[in-house]
Chain A
Amino acid sequence: MKFDKPAGTNPIDQLKVVGKPTPRIDGPLKTSGTAPYAYEQRDTPNAAYGYILGSAIAKGRITGMALGDAKAAPGVLAIVTAENAGKLGKGNFNTAKLLGGPDIEHYHQAIALVVAESFEQARAAASLIRVDYARDKGSFDLAAAKASAPLAKENGAETKVGDFAGAFAAAPVQLDATYTTPDHAHAMMEPHASIAAWNGDQLDLWTSNQMIAWSVADMAKTLGMPKEKIRMRSPFVGGGFGGKLFIRADVLLAALGAKAANRAVKVALPRPFIFNNTTHRPATIQRIRLGATRDGKLTAIGHESWSGDLPNGGPEGATAQTKLLYAGANRMTGLHLAVLDLPEGNAMRAPGEAPGLMALEVAMDELAEKLGIDPVDLRVINDTQVDPENPSRPYSQRQLNACLKIGADKFGWAKRARPGKVRDGRWLVGMGVAAAFRNNLVMKSAARVRLNAQGVVTVETDMTDIGTGTYTIVAQTAAEMLGVPLDKVVVKLGDSSFPVSAGSGGQWGANSATAGVYAACAKLREAVAQKLGVNSADAVFAGGKVKSGKRAVPLGEAAKNGEIVAEDAMEYGDLTKKYQQSTFGAHFVEVGVDAATAEIRIRRMLAVCAAGRILNPVSARSQVIGAMTMGAGAALMEELAVDKRFGFFVNHDLAGYEVPVHADMPHQEVIFLDETDPMSSPMKAKGVGELGICGVGAAVANAIYNATGVRVRDYPVTLDKLLEGMPEYA
């Protein structure tokens, strides 16, 4: 099915199931510990255990590897290294090789896998491998590399509209400030984990992965084998946040280990290995220049960002939102990319916008103060209903101002005082606001639906549920389309033997994958109508029956002589080119800062979101509060500390890399505006999973400023950065 015209009225608009707050259908499995994650599937009871050895240097080469002691250790079945693994390619989505050696590209790059009868034996034997290295000098310091970092090669790395320099110079009110965000880790709770088993030349993989088709293709490319010979399953994913978009060392080495040992092999990345072995969100240095008239109209908007990555890597696209968020005739953006020999930088939840808004939305707060205009009003004044770089493209929907105004009202924004003026016991109290913005991406997505004689509908798609609630919204979509209750729908996900879906990433999953299910269900409706001899155009699918005129037949009747199967994909025309499709929100945060110690506590959080139709308010709300939590972490504590001498992230575990815990988070509120976007898909939905993290860090930082009068432009905002400037203790 092709989606190239705005959606008209369709069966989803009935909203009998879609749009209703629906507890997750996979909830009983998850809460009883019976949902099988990758390392827990039991199809390979005889699996051996693999343990990975990582490089102890960041750059250079291996000059010798002594495997003898490890090979002789009890239980050891095989050892895989680059030397004996055979010729390996590299996946389209990988920057560094997943199995290093002799050349080493980053610290903890995998260099060997030990396969043994037990986990304990594999781990012990891995510690017996002796490695000699020749260390090369690497580049690990973004600030030092900044001056010589060229513009990135990506499309859109540099944009210019009007005369930025002239307009900025002439602006009566100017802001020119530089912000830094550190490297961030996804730190999903389930470590990357895989089981591999060969059956002749057929490779079976159980793994934890967001994008099945991408990853099957990259496994095939890396191993030099046809992708048709690979089956990958990932029915439950214990968090990804972008860290599991691609194949990683666990799945490749499990496959290589299984071949070498002639046994199924299971491999999980040890937690302290994940931070340097896998990908991370790269640090940024961002310079923002804003010029405005005295009444708050932006006349000049400039945003430049510097980040680093391994050779042939990419930039953190921190300027993305600045191209679109506010009106202003004269604009420029520039993305610069330094070569750094740190572990591979790549996508993490809302890549680009998450760190970009942490800077831009503080800059707006600073400008508002210079102008003496309320920060909510400044944003409202600079609203645009068209793409400001290309004004002939309107937004499909843009209710940012409504988000800001409703949020201000609900949050009690009017009570916000001047910085440092509100005291509650030992706490200095402040409020902050920021806009949330993230584009709505649409991706081709396919599904297969089966109808049996009992009227049970089974949906099969390689789409994944990474905590996003996919199982439930897919079931809601099929139930709505075919007029059956939720308990008559079975959803099967994350299997490469199913039709290729959009996968989970870029907050495109919910809208795109359900649109694919919509297409398959539309086809099934046709087939059912044909089977029952009714005209599909006037057939009504409701209450488990197909009604046509006075006739009402149970849905299962159509399949009494055999299952009916329909498969289709949703593909997209040029509506995303004609219309700028984005999601919007406003974050409001109240913090308390201890007047004596500058300890920061978040007291209240509210997000108001405009993101198209909300398919399941329960799981959508969870996506937003979860993203707000991750954004609070970015604002207050998350920072991969770089050892600039040896080139690695020092705090590479969950004790050193601090993420928010229960005690850090207050009750959170989310309001979704009642909205549908017919330009997006027949579902009229958009994404929310990344919107929630966009801007929230800035709202926290702005609230801290409002509490204390201390402006910190170097994330995370920790108490040591506040202490010196804190108001006199009274």
Chain B
Amino acid sequence: MHGPGDFELSRRGVLIGGAASVAATAAPVAEAAPEQAGSAGAGTPVMAKVGFKVNGKPHALELDTRTTLLDALREHLLLGGTKKGCDHGQCGACTVIVDGRRINSCLSLAVMHEGDSITTVEGLGTPEKLHPMQAAFVKHDGYQCGYCTPGQICSAVAVLDEIRAGIPSHVTGDIAGKPAMSADEIRERMSGNICRCGAYSNIIEAIGEVAARRKA
């Protein structure tokens, strides 16, 4: 990279600097051996077939195996409701429900989902016929820019199911007991879904309303 004497920096120094960055982008300091790097990207993409259901509808896709479930939904099935906020499992905007459990779809390759049943925000409701959670978000203004919203809503729907199923969280007092349908439990479980607009207070009210209705 840097010619000798070009700058008073050791190769080790560069590596320390690079390693200090939390998540390197795709083109980091070019320390990889060129032949390795060449083979990694120069070959023909490996394609694979995968079949899964999205919002009840079966899909058969042939995808580059590097395609995440998130990109399969957004770029191949044109379901843009599932959002890409970080592509690193750090923000929750890409949350979808797979076989009843919420996951970050950016952290999962599409080809891993053979036979799975996937629910996205579009599968919960439509503008004309909103899911109760979607309607509660509108009522309580549980969003602002709307970009994290599909992930918040998918998470919220799954969180209520998790609490009802007795799955404990970090704030559950007695992990052998039944977790409470409380604001603290909901806040804890929703904390993987970042809302930079800061609608949290309203989101908790929206989820709380749906939770109370379902309890009754």
Contact = CB atoms under 8 A, between A and B. Distances in A.
Contacts of A625: 198-199, 201-202
Contacts of A206: none
Contact of A652 (B22, B128, B135): B22
B69 interface: no
A272 B21 contact: yes
B80 A40 contact: yes
Given A24-B141, A35-B146, A271 B198 contact: no
Interface string A272-291: 11000000000000000000
Interface stretch (A132-140, A311-319, A390-398): A132-140
Contacts of A271: 23, 85-88, 90-91
Nearest to A131: B30
B62 to A, nearest CB: 12
B4 interface: no
Contact of A189 (B29, B42, B67, B85): B85
Given A134-B6, A651-B22, A33 B194 contact: no
B87 A270 contact: yes
A629 B200 CA distance: 8
B68 to A, nearest CB: 9
Contacts of A240: 145
Interface in A120-139: 120-121, 123-137
Interface in B192-210: 192-205
A272 B22 contact: yes
A123 B64 CA distance: 13
Nearest to A277: B25
B52 interface: no
B146 A236 contact: yes
Contact of B27 (A72, A127, A643, A656): A127
Contacts of A130: 30, 34
A54 interface: yes
Nearest to A622: B141
A650 B194 CA distance: 20
B78 A31 contact: no
Interface residues of A, number: 102
A665 B150 contact: no
A60 B6 CA distance: 11
Contact of A32 (B134, B186, B203): B134
B127 A34 contact: yes
Contact of A37 (B2, B147, B183): B147
A135 B6 contact: yes
Question: Which of A123, A127, A130, A188: most chain B CB closer than 10 A?
Answer: A127
B145 A188 contact: yes
A53 interface: yes
Which of A24, A54, A622 has most B Cβ within 10 Å?
Answer: A622
A177 B183 CA distance: 40
Nearest to A628: B198
A653 interface: yes
Contacts of B23: 271-272, 652-653, 655-656
Interface string A393-427: 00000000000000000000000000000000000
A210 to B, nearest CB: 11
Interface in B79-131: 79-88, 90-91, 93, 120-122, 124-128, 130
B10 to A, nearest CB: 11
Contacts of A125: 41
Interface string B122-160: 101111101000110111010111111110010000000
B127 A29 contact: yes
A659 interface: yes
Contacts of A668: 201
A102 interface: no
Contacts of A646: 17
B11 interface: no
Contacts of B93: 189
Contacts of A136: 7
Interface residues of B, number: 93
A135 B2 contact: yes
A26 B64 CA distance: 35
A28 B26 contact: no
B70 to A, nearest CB: 11
Contacts of A134: 2-3, 6-7
A588 interface: no
Contacts of B177: none
A133 B29 CA distance: 11
Contacts of A26: 146
A128 B38 contact: yes
Given A31-B130, A659-B196, A654 B91 contact: yes
B74 interface: yes
A128 B28 CA distance: 10
B43 interface: yes
A660 B197 CA distance: 10
A439 to B, nearest CB: 22
Contacts of A28: 127-128, 130, 134, 138
Nearest to A274: B86
Interface string A36-69: 1101101000000001011010001001000001
A212 interface: no
Given A120-B66, A125-B41, A271-B86, A27 B144 contact: no
Contacts of A577: none
Nearest to A692: B198
Given A625-B201, A662-B204, A31 B137 contact: yes
A663 B191 contact: yes
A687 to B, nearest CB: 15
B161 interface: no
B88 A654 contact: yes
B88 to A, nearest CB: 6
Given A189-B85, A467-B197, A643 B90 contact: no
B27 A36 contact: no
Contacts of B75: 119
Contacts of B139: 23
A628 to B, nearest CB: 7
Contacts of A123: 26
Contact of A74 (B37, B38, B45, B83): B45
Nearest to A21: B141
B90 A654 contact: yes
Nearest to A618: B141
Interface in A1-38: 23-24, 26-37
B24 interface: yes
B165 interface: no
Given A272-B88, A622-B144, A31 B134 contact: yes
A628 B198 CA distance: 8
Contacts of B81: 32-34
- A63, A236, A270, A652 — which one has the most chain B CB atoms within 10 A of its CB? A270
26 contacts: A23-B138, A33-B149, A69-B34, A69-B38, A72-B42, A74-B44, A119-B71, A120-B66, A127-B27, A127-B28, A134-B2, A188-B196, A189-B194, A190-B147, A238-B145, A271-B85, A272-B23, A468-B144, A622-B202, A650-B20, A653-B90, A655-B22, A662-B193, A662-B203, A662-B204, A665-B198
Given A132-B2, A271-B86, 19 more contacts: A31-B146, A32-B130, A37-B80, A56-B1, A124-B66, A128-B38, A188-B196, A189-B85, A189-B195, A190-B83, A272-B22, A272-B25, A625-B198, A626-B144, A645-B13, A653-B88, A659-B196, A662-B191, A667-B183
Interface of A: 23-24, 26-37, 39-40, 42, 51, 53-54, 56, 60, 63, 69-70, 72-75, 108, 118-121, 123-137, 186-191, 236-241, 268, 270-273, 466-469, 618-619, 621-623, 625-630, 643, 645-646, 648, 650-656, 659-668
Interface of B: 1-3, 6-7, 9, 13, 17-18, 20-30, 34, 37-38, 40-45, 64, 66-67, 71, 74-75, 78-88, 90-91, 93, 120-122, 124-128, 130, 134-135, 137-139, 141, 143-150, 153, 183, 186-188, 190-205
